[in-house]
Structures are given as structure tokens and as C-alpha cells.
Structure 1
Amino acid sequence: MENQFITFADYPDPDVIRVEDTYYMVTTTMYFMPGCEIFRSYDLVNWEHACYVYETLDDTPAQMLDGEQNIYGQGMWAASLRYHKDTFYVCFVANDTHKTYLYTAKDITGPWRKQYIEGFYHDNSILFDDDRKVYIMYGNKDVYITELNSDLTAPKEGGFHQCILSDAEKVPLGYEGSHLYKINGKYVAMVCHMPVVNEARKVQSCFVSDSLSEPFSGGIVISDNRGFRNYGVAQGGLVDTPEGQWYSMLFQDVGAAGRIPVLCPVQWKNGFPVFGDYGFVPSQVVCESTHPDHAYAPLYNSDDFVYPPLGSKEICLKQGWQWNHNPNHDLWSITEKPNALRICTGKLCTNMTQAINTLTQRMLFPQCTATVHVDGSGLKNGDFAGFAALQGCYGMLAIEKQEEKFFLTLLTNPPQDKSIWGNKTKNQPGVVTERIEIDTPNVSMKITADFGETRDFARFYYHDREHWVPFGQPFELFFKLDHFTGCRFALSVFSTQQAGGYAEFSSFHYNPKE
């Protein structure tokens, strides 16, 4: 497979802008908190964390994993990032609340001010036109452009509202992933979809018009799977360099690793963009850096959990970490034990996907490894604490406590099939595939992830004080729509009999290669 990936991890639905000599990119973060991560770059190829727009989006019962409620497969999707008159704008919908959120800030690092736009605008894109009007493009299959009022709180009464594209065919995925621009006096609308003629492979289309009120003309501009599982490159936007060169940042599905950004050069011919090699993404793309000596911080982190001695509510964990759903700050701490993260249980769970305060980091394509030490001394009977490959079909290497004894257990949620559709067993108890009694509640654990050309696997190990020992069989991973995200490393604790137990995690070490 050609390897011109950007970030090598699950950062889908990218939107990119340039502000003077700096590029900023926003991608989908869904149900992980803090959310709506924005990245910074000076060459469009290398990226580093700039900020999270919000710590939590709302505090609904589902966002807080109350009972068996959750927002897996939902949350914040496909944001539009814009910069206009010294202000940054981020606009997106949340598919669980069915609201449209607009955040604004004078500086990319915030503070960000939250407001709502009346209505629900799927996969939207904001356009600040040069006539002082503001438009929002959005939709699925039928794509609309609607004029907003001056304070961006609702559609403008009597303003422009028109369907500009309609995917009339019966297709697996209709037009969506809107990106709207005005370039050289022309309106440029980008969308992705899955035509039947392409064997249900996602493609990128582009349409151009001299006026919003005139028909848009165009069609498919990228139809390329780069030799990987017939997964197409699509859904992204356009950005120019200070020298006037143009690029498109899109993404490609890569199985259980998720959806990874891909950079493609763009040329303009007769007012219409030509992507890559006439619809094929080059294997190597070079963009001149505006800061060639800049050293980029990695997007992943090892962590010895050494933080200033403050209360947990005041501590900002390293940027690579995100909580699975909203955290409960009363149930975690890094001050109870030096150099360790303590996570306490606050409810009974059927399985680890309902555990509060599961802490995660993205896995890297095509291989990655991480290790962590788990101290289960504080567990109660019926508790599980350990290291997981988090997705709907999860695998978790756990210390289990039952009848005052400790066990090393491999807990999994195997798929019902290998399709992308939801895993119906996600709220059922995990399946124990391996289990041995151990004489200590302290175990060092390792997970290696291997995302291959045809199949994806996680492998689990424990340390026997001398060597890393494989535990259980390699567990096959899948990208499914029940969670709709790439697989992640996860630190998790949950109770099945009595809440109030805890585990402590230390010495988390991330290796980007197996």
C-alpha cells in the first residue's frame, strides 16, 4: 500500500485552514473527551496538538455513561473550521443531542465561546462570503446551502435556501461531507459519496458554479483506493499555501485503525480543481515548510503520571489522553499514590464499554505497542481492571478479583460478523477466552496492534518478572459503526458486583512500532 498518510492514526473528516504561515486542522472526536481537537502544522504533512475546543460538550445522561446509556457512534462529527476577521469559528453537529454547535475564539488556544445555531446541519461547512453574507452547506444525499443571520444563531428570515445537489441514484452513501469555498470568484462545493459503479467505494466529488443561484457542475475528482481493501480516499477540504499552491486534505478508511488523513496536491484548470494524478493520489507529497526548523511534538504520549501536586479537577493530563465519554472527576486521581493514576468504580457494569473514566489513546497504523503496570490491590470481588484494545469488539487483559482471589483474564467481545454494521452484543458480558489464577494483584501488561493488508489483530502479553509472555490467542479487530472510531489503547476498571473498588496504573510506555 502507498503510504502517504498524515498522522497515521484515527483523525477522520478533516477540515484545514491557513492563517498567515500556519495551518490548522480539525477532525472528528465523537464521544471522546476533551473533544474537538485542533492541530497545528507548518507544512501540511507534520502535525501537532494545538488545543481542544471543549472539555465536555454537554452533561446528558448518555454522555456520562449513566446506567447502560452511551453515545457510541454519535457525538461530535465533521466540524467546519474557519477564520474570519480575527476570529476562529468551529461549527459541527452532535448526533446524540441533534444540535448544531458553534464555538468562537480570538486565539486558537481559546478560550472558546459556545453557542447554538437553530436547526440541524449534517456535515456542515461555513462560508463567509465577500458580500458580508454567511452561508452553511450541509446534508446527506440532498445537499443544501442556507443563509444564516448576522449573529449566526439561525437561518436568515427570507434568506437564501436552496438544494444544490441531489444524489438521485440508489447508492450505499449519498452526498455528504460538505466543504464550501469561494475561490477566484467561483463557488466550489466538495462532497463525498459511494456510487454503485465504483463497487461501493467512497469517492470525492467537486462541483463549481459562478453563483449560488445557478446550477453547480462537476463530478468525481478522486476515485482511488491506493490498493487497500477497496477503501476510497474522500471527504475533506481545500487549502492554499502562502506561495499559492493548493492541496486537499482527505481521509482513507484503513480497517480497525480507523480513518487516517491523506494529503493530495491540487491544480486549477479552467476554474476547476484537478486532484493529484487526475483522480489518483500520489504516493509522495511534498509541501514547503514555513518553519523548516520546527520540531513537532508527537500526537501520542508515554506517561509516568508525574504531575504537579494539585487536585484532580485542576490537572490537565497529557494531550494524547482522552476519556471515553464524560469523565467523573470524583472517581480518578493522580495524587492518591505517587506516579500512578487511580481510577475508582462508581456503578455496576455489564462490560468495560460502560465503565466510567476509561482513559484512551489512539493506536497508530500500521503497528504500535504499549505497556502499562496495573495494581489491582484495591479491587473488590467482581471487579476487572486492566489494559484494553477499545472498540465495540474489544479485547481486555484484566486482573479479575473473585472470592478474594486474583486472576489474570482475557475478556473479549467477539463480533457476530465481519461487516461494518453494529455489534449487537456490545451490552452483554464479555467472553472469557483465557483465565489463570495469579499470586499477586500487580501485573505489567502489553498490547501490540498489527493493522495488516487484510486483517487486524491485537496481541496481549503479561510480564512474569523475567519475560513478556503471550496470553490467549491473537484477537481480531474490526472497524464497525457501533463505535465508528479506530481502535484505542485503554486503561479501564469496572465492577460487576459492588462499586467502590479501584485500580492504579503506572509506567505507561507507548512505542509507535511493534
Structure 2
Amino acid sequence: MKFPLASLASRVALALGAAGLLLAGLPALAWQADNGDGSYSNPPLNADYPDPDVIRVGHDFYFATTTFANSPGLRILHSRDLVNWRIAGHVLPRLEGGPAFDLTGGSVYRRGVFAPSLRFHDGEFVIAFTVVGQNTRICRAVQVAGPWRCHSLDRAAFDPGLFFDRDGSAFIATAIGSDGTVTLLSLDKSLSRVTEARKVHYIPGAEGSKLIRRGDWYYLFNAIPRRLAMTISRAKALTGPWETINAIDTATSGGHQGAIVDLADGRWWGFVMQDKPAIGRITNFSPIFWQDDWPVWGTPEAPGRVPARAVKPVQGQPLAQPDTSDEFDRPQLGLQWAWNHNPDDTRWSLAERPGWLRLKATRADGFWTARNTLTQKGQGPYSRGDVRLDLSGLAAGDRCGLGTLGKVNAGIAAVRTEDGRLRLERHTIIDNGDRQPATTLPGPSAALDANGVTLRLEMDFVRARGRLSWLDGEAAKPLGDEFELIYDWRTGTFQGPQVALFCFNTGTGKAGQVDVDWFRFSDKRAE
């Protein structure tokens, strides 16, 4: 389909007026993909939402994504048009499987929950996923917000691709990139037991399998991480024989891991993950067309690539984005927040001081091992987060403040000295992997003469630079130099830089607390 915006006017005039009103009333957003004229710009979510799996139920779309060690785990988003998304909930209230999920005796950064596969079957949402080092789990729920009931299979299926055939038979396709053999697991009706495991195909380096059926054809989508590309295979039977073609890739055409989802009117749309060096792995959405019974990303006029801008697949839906700001005036945390590992629920509260989030300092030898660090995703292309802190409860040795969690962990911490004074201190810690010591860069400090302070984190993903400041009245005073924003799957958290609210104590005396009045997000650059 050609994309002359003028030709859309007559079809979306009413939607435009409503969109304009909605735009005027929305809080600041880092990225609004809906252009308000019947078109959208990729990506719909300009943040690290990796390993996508997207399904349609009626007129609703659901998007499941990897969450690694973050708790709650396994996030699901909801949309009515594949462009405007809100967070619907999380499958796992906590992560299970050992003390490291509680940051006890080690950590599980870069591990945890990977590559979920979401389906809807017999009136229930069904999701399959594998926690690193554990067997594959299958969870079911009537409502996507839960509660979910889960059980484990007798084996680990890497990046499981759950599939229900037309007769209700259930399968999982699985492949790991170090090999590439695609194995088809047959499940019993209760989805609790593998009844057969059969090798059905081989694609060098394949993983991230997704299975779809259209007409008489089965389609198998696989990521090839070593070249950040996608293959598509098809067969008339799940057991093959399969024929395979190369599809798209991150470098030239828009992504590598993903699949396709059908629309209510019978059209199909594609979703695909793309690696970015600063923000992480984003998910793009694309029209597709069919050519000789093969799905092709893009349009006949511009085939083989994800468009930067396209007509929205569904018109007339209101603008939406995941929440960012939080006044902490509700009885629960906003769905945008996640802890760095399972939290110690005795060390935080929204009830002890209504209207405030209280973070009680946890014992830790440093930022990387500090439990109860509260995070949300960095938002591109530019975002600014301000947080207001009451420091009157800080004890000697407490380090509480705002920063980033990722490969480069930069923070600005309020510290109570032994003589009772307050100071602000910068830290920058670069994680170099499990077998290498972290790089710690000393930073400057500044004296505080009041128990209240506003801290600011700026993340410019275009320049791949972050900055930390504190506000003296309306004036922002940077503390230390800018730092890099880096996504690196080998080190850090395997995620793009996350906003981090932290409070820990490295000493042996009585730990204190910090009260957080609000966190306010803006996409406007500070003057």
C-alpha cells in the first residue's frame, strides 16, 4: 500500500479530532508512536521490550516480553491497535528457584525469565517460558492480569514456541542457537506432560522459535542471533519436510526475532525485535503481504523491510503508553515498576507514610548487590526523571538515591556521615561480566544543608549519554561528568539502562530509610 497521508484524511478525520484532544490531556511521554493522522512511527514502544510474542484475542492484542531477573516477572502489555500499548500485568509475582533470586549468595542478572510464548486456548491465556537453569513452565489464567496457575514440565525447552493446532493438540517448538536443531515437543491435553520429542528441522544457529498456521501451511519463525537475522520455514505438516528462506535482519531491514499476528479482518501484521546499542532491544511492527504463500515484511512498494512509518493497522483507538510518573499515592506500585530481584517486603512500604514510598536501607556491600532497587525502563529518544526525597530518616552508612541499572551503573546518592551531616556522592560502576572485576570510577560530592532534595536523571539515547544532577531551587547542578548509556548482552543486566531508585547500607550499625514523595517523568529537555 502506498502511503500518501493526504489520502487518509477523509477516512480518519473524526479520529484526528479525538486524537488531538487526547494528546492535549496526556502526561509527557518519551515517545508517542501514534502520529495522530492515521499513521504510526516505529517503534511503538521506544524502550527495551525484548523477545516479543504477540497474539490477538477478539479485537485485543497482547504482548509478552522477557524480564530476566526483574520482579514481578514476565510482563504482558495490551493494545487495541498494535500501536498504543499499556501494561496489563505480570505473570510471576515473584521468581522461584533458589536464594540468588533474592540476591542471597549471588545474583541472577542476565538470567531469569527468557523468551515467553503466549497463546489463547479454550477460554484461557496460556504462556510457556523457561527460567535459566530450570525446566520449562506453563502458566494459565482466565484474565491476563491473573491470577496465573503454573506447573513445570520434565525438561527445559530453550525459547519455547507454544502452539495449538486446530484440533486442540498442543506442541512446543524449541531450538538453541549453539546448535540449531528444531525439536517438536508434543504435549498431553493437560499440558503437563511431554508425550513425544521429535527433531523436525535444522537451521544453523536458530533459536527463538514461533509456530503459526495459515491455511494449509505451518510457518516456523526463527532468530539467528549470530547474524541478527530471521528465517521463515514452512511445511504442510509439523514434522516436515520444511523449506526455509532468509527474511529480515537488524542491520538493514528492521529486526531479527519475532513472527506474525492476524487481525480481526483477516490481514496479518509482523513484529520483530531490533538491537540498539544504547537503549537495548526494541520491538518494531510492520505490515506484511503474502507472496507465493510466504509472508513478506513491508509493502509491495517497499518489500523486505520494516517501515519507519506506516498506516496504523487499526484506526480510531485512543492514545496510550505505559505509565512512567508516579506520585506514590495509591496502595500499590504502578505496573511500570519492577525490583532488581525479588524484594524484601519488610524493607519497603506505601502504607507507613501515606502518599510516599518508603525504602528502608538494605544491607549490601555495594550497588550491584543491593536488594530492593526499584527500576523502570529507560525511554527513548530522550527522557528526564526527577525524584523528590525526604532524607530525614537516613542513618550513618546509608546510600539512597537515583541512578541507572545496567552495564554502566551511575548513581547520585544521599549519604549521612558519621557526624550527622548530609552529602551527595556520585558513583559509576561498570560491570565487566561474571569473571571480571567491575570498574569503579570515583566521582565528586556536594554538601547538603536540608533534609529534602530533588535528584534528576537524564537519558539521551540519541547521543548515548546520561547525566545526573540535583536541583538547587529551579537550577539543576550536575554532579560529575556525563556517562555512557550502553546495552550489552554479555555484561550488565542484558537489558537497556533502567531507571533505579535505591537505598542500601554498607555498614554494621542501624540502617535508616528514605521517603520518596514522587517520581516525575518528562520528555522535554532541561534548559
TM-score range, shorter chain: 0.7 to 0.9
Correspondent of 1:359 among 366, 374, 391: 374
Separation in 1, partners of 2:215, 2:524? 44
**CA distance in structure 2 between the aligned counterparts of 1:59 and 1:406, rounded to whole angstroms:** 40
Q: How many angstroms does 1:248 deviate by?
A: 1.1
| CA gap 1:194/1:25 in 2 versus in 1, 3 angstroms | closer
Measured after TM superposition, the shift of residue 114 of structure 1 is: 1.1
Instruction: Report whether the alignment pairs 1:203 with 2:229.
Output: yes
3-state DSSP of counterpart to 2:99? coil
Show the 5 A alignment for 1:59-458.
60-67=98-105, 69-95=106-132, 97-140=133-176, 141-156=180-195, 159=196, 161-167=198-204, 174-194=205-225, 200=227, 202-225=228-251, 233-276=255-298, 277-289=302-314, 292-296=316-320, 298-307=321-330, 315-347=331-363, 349-404=364-419, 405-414=421-430, 424-426=436-438, 430-452=440-462, 455-458=463-466
Letter in 2 for 1:43: D
Provide the C-alpha distance between the structure 2 equivalents of 1:332 and 1:342, rounded to a whole number of angstroms.
5
In the TM superposition, structure 1's runs of 4+ consecutive aligned residues that sit over 4 Å from their partners are none
Of 277-286 and 186-195, more deviation after overlay is shown by: 277-286
Structure-2 change in CA distance of 1:333 and 1:213 (3 Å): closer
Unpaired stretches in structure 2, ≥5 consecutive residues: 1-39
Q: Distance between the aligned counterparts of 1:103 and 1:72, measured in 2? A: 23
Deviation at 1:12, TM superposition (A): 0.6
In the other structure, the counterpart of 1:8 is 46
Instruction: Give the secondary-structure state (helix, strand or coil) at the position aligned to 1:256.
Output: coil
**Correspondent of 1:39 among 77, 82, 87:** 77
Shift of 1:59: 6.0
Deviates more, 1:271-280 or 1:7-16: 271-280
Q: TM-score by structure 2 length?
A: 0.86
User: Which runs of no fewer than 5 residues in structure 1 stay unpaired?
Assistant: 168-173, 308-314
- Code of the aligned partner of 1:177: G
1:509 aligns to 2:517 (yes or no) = no
C-alpha distance in 2, partners of 1:319/1:370? 17
Whole-angstrom distance in 2 between the partners of 1:342 and 1:59: 28
Contact 1:445 1:462 in 2 (8 A): yes
Distance 1:224 1:475, change over 3 A: closer
Q: 1:295: how far off?
A: 4.6
Q: Secondary structure at the match of 1:478?
A: coil
1:327 shift after superposition: 1.1
The number of residues matched between the two structures is 476
Does the C-alpha gap of structure 1 residues 127 and 415 become closer, same or farther in structure 2, counting only changes over 3 Å?
closer
Partner of 2:87: 49
Once residues 247 and 203 of structure 1 are traced to their aligned partners in structure 2, the CA distance between those partners, rounded to angstroms, is 18
Q: How far 1:464 sits from its partner (Å)? A: 1.5
Q: Percent identity?
A: 30
SS of the residue aligned with 1:306?
coil
> For each residue in 1:138-162, what CA deviation from the matched residue of structure 2 results, as whole angstroms up to 9, or x when unmatched?
1212221121222212210xx3511
> Structure 1 residue 437: deviation in Å?
2.7
Question: Deviation string for 1:39-96 (max 9, x for gaps)?
Answer: 11111111112221121132621111114x111001111100001121110110011x
Q: 1:490 and 2:512 equivalent?
A: no
